[in-house]
Amino acid sequence: MTVGRGATERLEILGLTAAELEEALARLLEEAREPRYRLGQLREWLFRRTPADFGGMSDLPKRLRERLDAAFVLLPLQRSIEKVSSDGTRKLLWTRSDGGSIESVVIPDRDRVTYCISTQAGCPVKCTFCATGHGGFQGQLRAAEIVGQVLGLRAVTGLSPTNVVYMGMGEPLLNFEAVKRSLEVLTSPDLAGFGARRITVSTVGIPDRIRELGELFPQVKLALSFHAARDDLRTEIIPLNRKHPLADVIAALRDHTRITGKKVTLEYIVLPGVNDTERDAREVIERVRGLPSRINLIGFNPFPGAPYTKPSVKRLLVFRKWLEAGFEGEVTIRRSRGEDIQGACGQLSLKHALEAAGAVVPE
């Protein structure tokens, strides 16, 4: 991707694959009459140290740093707002170079640090439980913006991730080309070098893309935004279910587990009075019978204008008990994090947009 700067265009360097990066940097070094070993120094700066700009690459000659700045964009996102929760969760709102904002989250938990990153600005899917959908859709993120969140979070917080989840704003499989490229960059040993097994992609269910993701990145984990086991209710919660009915999605999940040999995680947001009855639990058990999977229950996190309420801990425990009576895999309850800083997907961005429009938003 190129970005205009006056009469010139600059490449977004974090969106280049290993072969593309080597070719571009080798050409620039040759033109600058710099030795080849600078390639290793540049990779170290880009993917291990990640300064705010090329000027911060202190052991490179000033003339080379100026050439790099003229040819490339380093970080395509600018930090706008950062909030830190009482439980240590950190949420960042980033401003995009072409307008609008996105968010990502850092969740420290004992010896684990999870990065939750976005793939779209807003989301076109409009799931009724999600603040991101309520904020509207502003566009696709480029691969460099996806990678930039990971490297930017590490640079800002000083916390290296043990896990990266494509589970922030947007539907990753509706921005598949950029997601594929970002996974190439993040998992390449010559670039960011993150283990593919430490990465999870979450989706509401795009069957063909689920299969393709498994073929291309068999070590990357998959999570399905599930939430209901019958089509009428799931369509009410996730409108895209009309286009991709649950039977097609589950069939794709079965193919994915066959291709990769990995279990899939079924994310289930518990919406009191909507999808949390004993009947719902029985339908879930029947729908996924024989699918290598685990279920992760999530209590709904309210946001301004939300049509649902937050479930009690007792309700979550009862629903888990019903599932455990017949489900073949593990059933867990996700501990809510960052509630005091609008930690769930899209909440900080929605709050920021509402305040900018003059609305009074309760903390």
> What is residue 351's predicted lDDT score, i.e. its pLDDT?
47
CB burial string 28-56: b at 16+ within 10 A, e below: bbeeeebeeebeeebbebbbeebeeebee
> What is residue 99's predicted lDDT score, i.e. its pLDDT?
83
Instruction: Mark whether 103 is an active-site residue.
Output: yes
Q: How would DSSP label each residue in 198-225? A: GEEEEES--HHHHHHHHHH-TTSEEEEE
CATH number of 2-73: 1.10.150.530
> What is residue 152's predicted lDDT score, i.e. its pLDDT?
97
Tokens 């072409």 label which residue? 98
The topology under which CATH files domain 77-356 is: TIM Barrel (3.20.20)
Q: Which residue among the candidates 12, 34, 103, 184 is catalytic per the annotation? A: 103
| Beta-bridge partner residues of 101 | 95
pLDDT tens across the length of the chain (363 residues): 565 444 368 999 999 999 999 999 999 999 999 999 999 999 999 999 999 999 999 999 999 999 999 999 999 999 999 999 999 999 999 999 888 899 999 999 999 999 999 999 999 999 999 988 888 899 999 999 999 999 999 999 999 999 999 999 999 999 999 999 999 999 999 999 999 999 999 999 999 999 999 999 999 999 999 999 999 999 999 999 999 999 999 999 999 999 999 999 999 999 999 999 999 999 999 999 999 999 999 999 999 989 999 999 999 999 999 999 999 999 999 988 877 765 555 556 544 443 443 433 334
The one-letter amino acid code at 211 reads: R
> What is residue 342's predicted lDDT score, i.e. its pLDDT?
57
Q: How would DSSP label each residue in 106-150? A: EEEETTEEEEEE-SEEE-SS--TT-HHHHT-EEEEPPHHHHHHHH
C-alpha span between 325 and 320 (Å, rounded): 9
Nearest to 249 by CA among 298, 292, 210: 210
C-alpha span between 214 and 54 (Å, rounded): 36
Q: Which residue among the candidates 116, 123, 127, 345 is catalytic per the annotation? A: 345
Reduced to 3 states (helix: H, G, I; strand: E, B; else coil), residue 118 is coil
- The residue ranges of every structural domain in the chain are 2-73, 77-356
pTM attached to this predicted model: 0.91
